[in-house]
Structure 1
Amino acid sequence: MIHPLSDVKTKSIGPDTNIWQFSVVFEGAVIGSNCNICANTLVENDVVIGDNVTVKSGAYLWDGVTLENDVFIGPCVAFTNDKIPRSKQYLETLAKILVKQGASIGANATILPGVTIGREAMVGAGSVVTKDVPDYAVVVGNPAKIVRYLEGGK
């Protein structure tokens, strides 16, 4: 289901995916099956979203973001792809962000350019992730620090 009040240009959307109102999805984006892209979201061209992914309202996925299968993105999560942003100055290549399978990112977290969030990891609400997060780690704070590991981790 693509809500009639959304602007979806891509044809690369898997079955059983819902895209809600006031969402913008660029032509080059790839979205898997059984995803829920909530209202007021943006998905740029160089974005890949796996299967069974939830992107809550107010999250913007800029070029270079990859979300593997079963990822949860909380409301208003901020992804960034330029370490030194300036108006009208564009990088030749943007930093990538990878969120591995089963990871969850809490509301209002900020993910800086070039970061990988590990498999099944959890990022606490409001955290600022400045470096890679290992598989199964739980990180919180600014800058985000590991507070523990989930079952299956270290």
Structure 2
Amino acid sequence: MEHFNPIIEKYTNEQKKRLLAVWEKSVLATHHFLSTEDFVAIKKLLQNFDFTTLNVYCLNHHAEMIGFIATSAAKIEMLFLSPNYFGKGLGKKLMNFAMSTLNANEVDVNEQNQNAVKFYKSLGFVPFERTEKDDLGKGYPLLRMLLEQHTN
């Protein structure tokens, strides 16, 4: 049996359709708190978004994109995995890459996404602020989190 070892590669615009497909599958599996209207609005925003304005790295296995992570400066802006690959340590692999290679030490997470909150806490992130609304002004509270050694 082949050893499963996906690789992390820099995003290119040719991968946008695959990246958006991963985003959509992941959000549908994890963001049950999002209204359909807000999901559709965010999806439309992302279809017109230039992902090259962020540091985006994709987790690929052969020709399949399994997940991706996006950072801006030291902040993780996005982390999404295809639901088929949840619970296999791949989110942790992307996070370790972002923390060690991209010096990421901050993340915002939807408070209602308790699995994500637990995931980031397990990697050493601690909440330092809570917002009532997300960055789009919608009623989805965010927890702003910092990697613990950076909170001092």
TM range (shorter): under 0.3
Structure with greater helix percent: 2
Q: Which has the higher contact order (CA 8 A, sep 6+)?
A: 2
